[in-house]
Structure 1
Amino acid sequence: MAAFPAQPDLSLRSYEGDTGTDRHDWAQLVLPVRGSLTLDIAGREGRLGVARAAYVPTQAWHTTIGDRPNQSLVLDVAGTDIPDCLADQLASEAFVPMAPPAMALVEYMRLLVEDGAPATGQLARWVPLLLDALGRQRPRPLSRLQATLAAAEESLGHPWTTALMAQHANLSPSRVHELFRAELGTTPRAWLAERRLARAREWLARTDRSIATIASDAGYGDQSGLTRAMREAMDTTPAAYRRQQRETATKIP
């Protein structure tokens, strides 16, 4: 395992496919600047976008999945450099909505990184400002999509469409599209596809349910539908993914 650098380290990274499971001796903030990606942190999976970051605590197992073009600033920082109260707050949330002040700081540093490695002094001043911005963020009001997203998550096997989601939320389909873009950085169709694939992966890795049952309950209709989706998104099959996950689990001490 690599040793943590003496100073916080910042890099601009892109992720492609499933990067495998990892953990390290430092905390990490993943701050997307383009596109979106999925991160599983100790069994909690969420979608990241330019308005939603993620916090990976020290020694937390995590997996990053890039299923579309993406780019993120990744800040590696010693856990002891983050105030305990903020570290507890970030760890409890895992996936952190980014208020405008924090987003502005991320965009500023992105420009510096793209122009070349920022000076040590610039990074040393930027990190406390970012942490302070994250600590000062106020909880967002509940989204008008909240109940609909929860209902869809509970019944992914239901034949959801944008029209049905709009009806559930008592909104027009066009307004639902606007809210998905503004709050989640995606479309209803893409969000459903991502959640169904995430749920299928979870069941394949952690249960003994048959692949046909998983496919039906996750909303694919039949096993061939799930197989097509996994081939397109991950270049694998349900059976191969289950086998790989179980082999990985046996190697983790």
Structure 2
Amino acid sequence: MAAIPAQPDLTLRSYDGDEGTDRHDWAQLVLPVRGSLTLAIAGRENRFGVARAAYVPAGAWHTTIGDRPNRSLVLDVSAADIPAGIADRLASSAFVPMAPAASALVEYMRLQVEDRAHTGEQLVRWVPLLLDALGRERPRPVSRLQATLAVVDNAIGQPWTAALMARHANLSVSRLHEVFRAELGTTPRVWLAERRLARVREWLVHSDRSIAAIATEAGYGDQSALTRAMRDAMDTTPGAYRRQQRETATNIP
């Protein structure tokens, strides 16, 4: 992966077709200003357009697909420059609706970039304002799902299905899918897969449990099923991920 930018970098980009899968050591915000595109971030895929932002955490595998005319502001910024609380909120949603204050700032930034009128100093000042606007303006309430998500998250290893989640939420399966799309921008299956992988990553790094035990506790049928899931979503294996993360931690001064 390329080196982390010394300071934030802001560019206007258009995406044409499947741009391939990539990851980098810095965080990235994709802010459409015209048209729409599809972005898959660590297994979560969504089509989004103007007035919605996508957040790609540092190190996350992502694929961008532009199948119609589009243009986006793309902000590359060191993860260290994003307050932890805001980073967590953005990462939990990945695709974040922008309230008027954030949209107005993005439009101003677009005009300045198009006119080549912005400076590095200005960009450094814009970044915290944009992050604050996005981080504080949460997506639409998830009250209809909040209790169900908490139940599932606390029993991630259970054999959850959309039907079981719908029963907990007192919704039909079709209505559950509608609410997931409207409030979280994803599906029950994709959300569950991401939560399971998040728990697996946490256990691989912070525990000495065997990979087989972690697979079972996270809801995978066996170690092979977990390995396939990690390869599909992250292009790595549980063992390789554990080694890489521990080597990185060891090499940090």
Q: TM-score range by the shorter chain?
A: 0.5 to 0.7
CA gap 1:233/1:244 in 2 versus in 1, 3 angstroms: same
Corresponding residue number in structure 1 for 2:200: 200
The structural deviation recorded for 1:219 is: 0.7
**Deviation string for 1:3-56 (max 9, x for gaps)?**
337xx633549783554xx46xxxx662365324149xxxxxx99984465498
Paired residues for 1:148-187 under 5 Å:
148-187=148-187
Give the unaligned 5+ runs of structure 2: 33-37, 67-71
TM-score, scaled to structure 2: 0.66
Corresponding residue number in structure 1 for 2:60: 64
Corresponding residue number in structure 1 for 2:100: 101
Moved more, 151-160 or 196-205: 196-205
Give, in whole Å, the separation in 2 of the partners of 1:230 and 1:92: 21
Aligned residues: 224
Corresponding residue number in structure 2 for 1:16: 21
Amino acid of the structure 2 residue aligned with 1:9: L
- Conserved 8 A contact 2:90-2:135: no
Amino acid of the structure 2 residue aligned with 1:98: P
3-state SS in 2 of match to 1:236: coil
Corresponding residue number in structure 2 for 1:35: 39
Corresponding residue number in structure 1 for 2:115: 119
CA gap 1:237/1:131 in 2 versus in 1, 3 angstroms: closer
TM-score, scaled to structure 1: 0.66
Amino acid of the structure 2 residue aligned with 1:101: P
3-state SS in 2 of match to 1:144: helix
Corresponding residue number in structure 1 for 2:143: 143
Give, in whole Å, the separation in 1 of the partners of 2:21 and 2:162: 28
Corresponding residue number in structure 2 for 1:4: 7
Give, in whole Å, the separation in 2 of the partners of 1:242 and 1:70: 30
**Deviation string for 1:82-137 (max 9, x for gaps)?**
9xxxx798468455742353675598689x79xxx622237979x59957964884
Give, in whole Å, the separation in 1 of the partners of 2:60 and 2:143: 26
- Conserved 8 A contact 1:102-1:134: no
- Conserved 8 A contact 1:212-1:223: yes
Give, in whole Å, the separation in 1 of the partners of 2:88 and 2:234: 29
Give the unaligned 5+ runs of structure 1: 40-45, 57-61
Give, in whole Å, the separation in 2 of the partners of 1:157 and 1:136: 32
CA gap 1:245/1:17 in 2 versus in 1, 3 angstroms: farther
Give, in whole Å, the separation in 2 of the partners of 1:118 and 1:35: 24
- Conserved 8 A contact 1:29-1:75: yes
